[in-house]
Amino acid sequence: MLLPVTCENWITLSMAATMTPEEIGDLSKKHYNASVASLKLGNEDLMILRVRPDAGVQPHRPGQYSTLGMGHWEPRAPGCQEEVPKPGEEKKLIRRAYSISCSVLDEAGHLPDRVGQDWLEFYIVLVRQAEKAPPALTPRLFLLKEGARVFLGEKIAGHYTLEPVKPTDNVLFLSTGTGEAPHNYMLWELLQRNHQGKILAACGLRYKRDLGYLSIQEELMRRHSNYTYNADGAPSRRPPPGLVDRL
C-alpha cells in the first residue's frame, strides 16, 4: 500500500536520499555532543526539553543562554512551512541560541539545590511559519525522542542575571510566551536563597494552553506569599494594590 507524500515530506526525503546511512551516521558523530534526557509536550507546539551534554554541564548562572543544534539532514515535523534546501546545505548544522529554563520544582514537588544536575532545560515553541525563511530548527527538534542525539553549545553566556539584585529588592519579570524561560530559572535562584522582596512575573500570550509551567507557578504562589504570577488567558492571583507602581 502506498502512502500519500506531501510536498514537505518529499523535500525531506529527497534531501536524505542524497546521503547514505553511513554518511548521516558520520555527520551525527561529528557534530552531536549531547543526548535528550527527557521531553514533555505541553501541547503539539510547546515543549520542555532537557538535554544532557556528554562533557557535563558547564558552570553558569540563571538567566544565561546556550545553543541547540541539529543537522539539515534530519527530518522535519509535518504541517510546517515548506523548506527548499540549497545545494550542499544538507550536511550543515542548524544552530540557534536558547535561554536556559527551569521547572523550579522537581518531580517530588521540592525546590532542588541542582548540585550535580547533569542536564539543561529549554522551553521551546514550534515555529511552523516564518517571513524571511522557512523555520529550520524547531520543526526538527519536535521530532526528537528521549535518548536522541543533538548538538549543545559548549559555551554558556549572557549578562541577564540576578547579579545586581539585593535580598530585599522587589523584582519584576516581564515576558511573552517561551520568553519566560530565563525568568523561571532566575525565580528558582531567588526562592533558593529565600529572597525577601516581592516577586512579580507577568507573561503575555494568547492562549492558556501555551503556559507550559502554569501548574508549577500556581503551586509556587500557594507556597510563597511574596510571589505573584500573572499571565493573559490564565487565572492567577491579582498583584497586591500598588505593587507594580512600587516596582
pLDDT in tens, 75-118: 999 999 999 878 888 899 999 999 999 999 999 999 998 888 99
Q: What is the pLDDT of residue 89?
A: 87
Backbone phi, psi, residue 142, to 5°: -80, 5
Percentage of the chain surpassing pLDDT 90? 78
What's the whole-number mean pLDDT along residues 143-154? 97
How many Cβ atoms sit within 10 Å of the Cβ of residue 207?
A: 12
Helix (H) or strand (E) holding 7: helix 7-17
Q: What is the pLDDT of residue 233?
A: 55
pLDDT tens per residue, range 149-174 = 999 999 999 999 999 999 999 999 99
Strands annotated E in 171-220 = 171-176, 199-204
Q: What is the pLDDT of residue 242?
A: 53
Has residue 137 got a pLDDT over 50?
yes
Query: What is the pLDDT of the chain when averaged over all its residues?
Result: 89
Q: Which residues contact 4 (CB under 8 A, 6 or more apart)?
A: none
Residue scoring higher pLDDT (38 or 238): 38
Beta bridge partners, 229, equal 201
pLDDT category of residue 206 using cuts at 50, 70 and 90: confident
Q: What is the pLDDT of residue 13?
A: 47
Q: Distance between CA 72 and CA 16 in Å, rounded?
A: 9
Q: Distance between CA 100 and CA 184 in Å, rounded?
A: 9
Strands annotated E in 119-159 = 120-125, 149-152
- pTM of the shown model: 0.87
Q: What is the pLDDT of residue 237?
A: 47
Q: What is the pLDDT of residue 211?
A: 95
Angle in degrees, CA 177, 180, 183, rounded to 5: 175
Has residue 4 got a pLDDT over 60?
no
What's the whole-number mean pLDDT along residues 189-201? 97
